Structure 1
Amino acid sequence: MVQRNDKVTALNENIMNQERKKQERAHRRKKGLYRRLVVFGVLVVIMFTVMISTLTSQSTVIAEKKEERQKVEKRLEEVKQEKSQLSEEVNKLQDPDYIGEVARRDYNMSKPGETIFKLPKKKEESR
């Protein structure tokens, strides 16, 4: 029976070693899984951080561009209005009567036989 007992002990040790190795492999796999999950999580956090910072900077740039566009559109309206006034002035300057009126008013010129009277300007009444 002694021999039998040695075989049983050896068999139990082999089974125990196999079971221990199996548990160690499972433990190593779990550790590897946790490490991969942590690395993946860190990468996801980094990607979201980059995406959020990009979106905020783009929204800031868009807001600045909208403000700049409004200013440019306002300036465009002013230039169009000025162009309209200048075109009207050019058309008026084509008229000889208007040129005569400007000459009389600004340069104190008169037509032959015309007398110029300069009247004092009326002051507006204050309320």
Structure 2
Amino acid sequence: MAQKIKKLDNEFTQSQNKKKKTVSKTRQVVRKRLTLFGGILVIIVIVMLIMLFMQKNRNEELAKERKEKALTYEQLQDKEIDLKEQIKRLNDKEYIEKLARSEYFLSNDGEIIFKLPEDKKQSENNK
């Protein structure tokens, strides 16, 4: 059946064939361009996602570090308060006398220090 159809080789058919070829070539060019730009777009999206993931991890690390530093800061503030209180106590004459009596068994003139058995147990527990 295909053999019975005869192709006309005139100007009109040639122009129509040229139009079909140019349309198919432009479609191929458009497909290639779309494929190229689509690939570039996919690469850009992948790079952006990788950067987003890395930034998220970095932010989490910094948040963790910030929490650790805040905890350390609070501990140092507490220690500073304790040290300031200790300085105040060490500047107090009564506290120094009490400390000298309990730790080093010093006494004023005419005083006698007795060590009770309960005191021995307390001093052993403190060590």
Taking structure 1 as the reference length, the TM-score comes to 0.82
Corresponding residue for residue 47 of structure 1: 44
Are 1:22 and 2:16 counterparts? no
In the alignment, structure 1 segments of 5+ residues that lack a partner are: 1-10
In the alignment, structure 2 segments of 5+ residues that lack a partner are: 1-7
Corresponding residue for residue 121 of structure 2: 121
Give the one of 69, 87, 91 matched to 1:90: 87
Deviation of 1:107 (Å):
2.2
Deviation of 1:29 (Å):
0.3
- Runs of 4+ aligned residues of structure 1 deviating over 4 Å after TM superposition are none
Q: Structure 1, residues 57-89: CA drift from partner, whole Å, max 9, x if none?
A: 111011111111111110111011001001101
Aligned partner of 1:52: which letter? L
Q: How many residue pairs were aligned? A: 114
RMSD: 1.9
1:64-103 map, 5 Å: 64-103=61-100
Deviation of 1:94 (Å):
1.1
Report % sequence identity: 30
Corresponding residue for residue 3 of structure 1: none
Taking structure 2 as the reference length, the TM-score comes to 0.82
Q: Secondary structure at the match of 2:10?
A: helix
Aligned partner of 2:121: which letter? K
